Amino acid sequence: MIELIVFAIAIATTVFLIFHFLYMNSLIYTLYHFGLQFSYKWASRYYLMLRLGFVLLGILVITSLSIVILYRRVLKAKVPTVERERYEQTLMKRIEQLRLELWKYKRKPSGVAGYVLLLYGAIAIASSVLYASSILAFIGLGLAFWGVLFLFVRPVRYVKSSLLDSTSFSSLVTIDRVIADLNYEGKGVYLPPRYLKGLKEGTVFISSEKDITVPTIEEVAKEKVFLKNPAGICLTPSGLDLANLFEKELGTDFAKVDLNYLQDNLPKLFIEGLEIAKAFKMNVRDDTVHVKITESVFKDFCNQVRTKLSNVCSSLGCPLCSSIACALARSSGEPVIIEKIKPSTDGEVIEAYYRILGTFPSEKQTAVASIEAPPTEFSPPTPKTVASAEVSTEEVPPTPVQPTGRHPSYLLNNLIGLVLIALGLYTLTWVGWLTWYDITTWSKSLDLVLFGSRTGEAVSLGIGMKVIHYFLISLVLLLVGVFTLFRKGRRLPNSR
Partner 1 sequence: MQFPLSFWDISLWLAITAVILLATSEVISPYYGRTSLIIEKGRLRQAALLLGLLFILSVLIRIYIAMP
Report how far apart the first and last C-alpha atoms of the chain are (Å, whole number).
Answer: 54
Query: Closest separation between CB of residue 112 and partner 1, Å?
Result: 14
Looking only at residues 261 through 280 of this chain, which bind partner 1 when binding is defined by CB under 8 A?
A: 271-273, 275, 278
Looking only at residues 455 through 484 of this chain, which bind partner 1 when binding is defined by CB under 8 A?
A: 477, 480, 484
Nearer to partner 1, 14 or 133 (CB): 133
SS3 content of the chain, % helix, strand, coil (to 5): 55, 10, 30
Nearest to 184 by CA among 176, 196, 193, 194: 176
Cis peptide bond N-terminal to 230, omega within 30: yes
Nearer to partner 1, 335 or 481 (CB): 481
Question: Per residue, what are the HEC states of 92-109?
Answer: HHHHHHHHHHHHHHHHCH
> CB 88: neighbour CB atoms within 10 A?
11
Query: Closest separation between CB of residue 245 and partner 1, Å?
Result: 15
Query: Does 428 interact with partner 1 (rule: CB under 8 A)?
Result: no
Torsion of CA 42, 43, 44, 47, to 10 degrees: 120
Among 50, 141, 231, 428, binds partner 1 (CB under 8 A): 141
Torsion of CA 14, 19, 22, 24, to 10 degrees: -100
Is 291 within 8 Å of 342 (Cβ atoms)?
A: no
Cα 179 to chain centroid distance, Å, stands at: 35
Applying CB under 8 A, the span of 41-49, 337-345, 422-430, 445-453 interacting with partner 1 comes to 422-430
Nearer to partner 1, 278 or 444 (CB): 278
Among 8, 129, 386, 446, binds partner 1 (CB under 8 A): 129
Query: Does 450 interact with partner 1 (rule: CB under 8 A)?
Result: no
Nearer to partner 1, 61 or 422 (CB): 422
Query: Closest separation between CB of residue 89 and partner 1, Å?
Result: 34
Residue 195 DSSP one-character state: G
Is 310 within 8 Å of 339 (Cβ atoms)?
A: no
Among 117, 124, 128, 196, binds partner 1 (CB under 8 A): 128
Applying CB under 8 A, the span of 30-38, 328-336, 358-366, 415-423 interacting with partner 1 comes to 415-423
What separation in angstroms does the CA of 43 have from each of 21, 36, 40, 49? 15, 11, 5, 10
Task: Note the residues at the interface with partner 1 (CB under 8 A).
Answer: 110, 128-130, 132-134, 136-138, 141-142, 145, 149, 152-156, 158, 271-273, 275, 278, 295, 412, 415-416, 419-420, 422-423, 426, 477, 480, 484, 488
